[in-house]
């Protein structure tokens, strides 16, 4: 082998090492896994995330891997002119497409490092130089990491090391939640949304679900009703909701914050259609009609169930939304801010109706951002808080009076502020109360219901 071939091979090895090493350091600077820079394809997906161009990163990943496959494939394919020609054509297509997407990804990375724009052009002819310059030079550090690396996007990647609050109540009655975690994959990382939620809610309970923004209230609700399953065991009166979801979904009612109503229908027609949809098909018409009347009476709408939905007040529309779910006689009833937009008197009346529903032996869980005006109606309060790793955890479960004593606060709103972060104007004491409640449970001092 002549000197030129040795020089060519040596230069190629050096440039490949500089490229891989530079990409390794770029990813490390951006709090990513540096060794991904050694893997064709994967490295550009991660770089796409860094620059806020994940879709382009995905395409660069695919074609970078194909480019490498076709390039090294020449050592293994048969020495046939036709085969080599087709292989070469495929390689060229993959290589050109790879370059296009690589340039788009690296352009965003270059902007992230606030490097000169000419580096985007240099990437086409000397990618090793650009990678080494950004990766190894102390003059270049990421200054605009975008959505991926902002504080919120990294939330949940490292839960605080706090013992779980264990609930060992073996009861088959009521709602039993043993949620180990709710995890998603976001931007190439494993992110915890919830962790260690263990509690038992007895039948006949009206439960207040509290927590600041991002504490996981809606995530917990979705996990409990089986809409977004978690790593959990959730049972309702002895029946596993996840395992028997097709059966149990009819025993759960959920009213979202947004009313989903046909405004041009009458109230009675709206509830009647809900009965047709939610009740068993073999139910007798007389029994269905009785169920409708029972719901109208429970919601205090007797004599007000005529006329169009569009003509009703905000409070009445919310009652209609509740009635559409209540018509199926669910054992578990969950409402997300049912009093949103309602004044104090109307909100109070609405929660009094929910108190009546709970008194029928149902479990009613409600989220509200104005809890103190109706807190006396509730049996239990669940407080979720984001720990220092920004993971939703159980900070308290018990009666409202026990909650005030536990947090040493005189209102539910002050309790929420005590676990909210200082960035949200709170006291930032979430870890303290999560750990305090876990110890209280271990000592047997917390309420099981």
Domains and CATH numbers, the chain: 3-149 (no CATH), 175-442 (3.40.50.300)
Distances (CA, A) of 204 to 241, 333, 354, 358, 449: 19, 11, 11, 5, 11
pLDDT at 173: 86
Residues 363-389, mean pLDDT to the nearest whole number: 93
Q: Could you tell me which residue, 68 or 312, shows the higher pLDDT?
A: 68
pLDDT at 233: 93
* 449 — pLDDT class (breaks 50, 70, 90): very low
Least confident of 63-67, 95-99, 269-273, 394-398: 269-273
* 123 — pLDDT class (breaks 50, 70, 90): confident
pLDDT at 148: 47
Residues 80-84, mean pLDDT to the nearest whole number: 61
pLDDT at 258: 67
Question: Ranked by mean pLDDT, which of 81-85, 92-96, 163-167, 266-270 comes out on top?
Answer: 92-96
| CA gap 440, 418 in Å, rounded | 18
Please count the other Cβ atoms lying within 10 Å of the Cβ belonging to residue 118: 10
| CA gap 349, 339 in Å, rounded | 10
User: What is the Rg, in whole angstroms, of the alpha carbon atoms belonging to the chain?
Assistant: 30
Q: Could you tell me which residue, 407 or 138, shows the higher pLDDT?
A: 407
* 390 — pLDDT class (breaks 50, 70, 90): confident
pTM of the model: 0.68
For 86, residues 6+ apart whose C-beta sits below 8 A from its C-beta are none
Distances (CA, A) of 400 to 23, 142, 297, 371, 383: 54, 48, 29, 11, 10
Please count the other Cβ atoms lying within 10 Å of the Cβ belonging to residue 5: 9
For 32, residues 6+ apart whose C-beta sits below 8 A from its C-beta are 46, 49, 50, 188
Q: What percent of the chain has pLDDT over 90?
A: 29
* Adjacent-strand bridge partners of 233: 178
pLDDT at 5: 66
| Residue 428 reports pLDDT greater than 50 | yes
* 147 — pLDDT class (breaks 50, 70, 90): very low
* Adjacent-strand bridge partners of 236: 175, 239
Please count the other Cβ atoms lying within 10 Å of the Cβ belonging to residue 311: 12
Q: What percent of the chain has pLDDT over 70?
A: 83
pLDDT at 232: 93
Supply the DSSP string of 90-140, one letter for each residue.
HHHHHHHHHHHHHHHHHHHHHHHTT--THHHHHHHH-HHHHHHHHHH-TT-
* 448 — pLDDT class (breaks 50, 70, 90): very low
pLDDT at 149: 47
* Adjacent-strand bridge partners of 146: none
For the record, the structure tokens of 410 come out as 């005189």
């Amino acid at each position: 082998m002549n000197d030129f071939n040795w020089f060519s091979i040596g230069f190629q090895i050096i440039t490949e090492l500089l490229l891989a090493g530079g990409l390794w350091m770029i990813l490390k600077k951006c709090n990513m896994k540096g060794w991904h820079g050694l893997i064709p394809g994967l490295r550009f997906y991660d770089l796409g995330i860094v620059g806020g161009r994940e879709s382009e990163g995905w395409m660069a990943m695919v074609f970078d891997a194909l480019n490498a496959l076709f390039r090294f494939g020449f050592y293994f394919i048969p020495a046939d002119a036709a085969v080599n020609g087709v292989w070469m054509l495929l390689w060229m297509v993959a290589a050109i497409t790879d370059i296009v997407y690589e340039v788009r990804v690296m352009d965003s990375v270059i902007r992230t490092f606030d490097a000169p724009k000419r580096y985007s052009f240099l990437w086409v002819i000397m990618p090793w130089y650009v990678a080494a310059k950004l990766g190894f030079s102390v003059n270049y550090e990421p200054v605009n990491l975008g959505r991926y690396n902002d504080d919120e996007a990294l939330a949940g990647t490292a839960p605080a090391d706090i013992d779980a609050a264990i609930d060992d109540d073996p009861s088959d009655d009521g709602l039993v939640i043993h949620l180990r975690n709710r995890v998603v994959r976001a931007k190439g990382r494993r992110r915890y949304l919830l962790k260690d939620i263990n509690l038992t809610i007895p039948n006949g309970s009206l439960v207040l679900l509290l927590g600041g923004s991002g504490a996981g209230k809606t995530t917990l609700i979705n996990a409990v009703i089986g809409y977004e399953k978690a790593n959990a065991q959730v049972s309702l009166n002895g029946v596993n909701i996840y395992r028997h979801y097709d059966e149990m979904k009819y025993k759960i009612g959920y009213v979202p914050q947004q009313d989903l109503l046909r405004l041009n229908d009458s109230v009675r027609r709206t509830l009647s259609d809900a009965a047709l949809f939610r009740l068993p098909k073999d139910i007798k018409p007389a029994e269905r009609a009785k169920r409708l009347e029972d719901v109208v009476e429970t919601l205090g709408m007797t004599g007000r169930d005529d006329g169009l939905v569009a003509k009703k007040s905000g409070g009445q529309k919310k009652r209609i939304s509740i009635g559409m779910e209540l018509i199926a006689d669910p054992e578990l009833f969950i409402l997300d801010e049912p009093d949103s937009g309602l004044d104090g008197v109307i909100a109070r009346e609405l929660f009094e109706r929910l108190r009546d529903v709970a008194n029928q032996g149902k479990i009613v869980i409600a989220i509200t951002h104005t809890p103190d005006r109706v807190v006396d109606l509730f049996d239990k309060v669940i407080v979720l808080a984001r720990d220092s790793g920004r993971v939703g955890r159980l900070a308290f479960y018990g009666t409202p009076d026990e909650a005030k004593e536990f947090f040493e606060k005189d209102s539910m709103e002050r309790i929420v502020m005590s676990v909210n972060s200082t960035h949200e104007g709170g006291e930032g004491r979430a870890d303290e109360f999560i750990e305090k409640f876990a110890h209280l449970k271990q000592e047997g001092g917390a309420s099981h219901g």
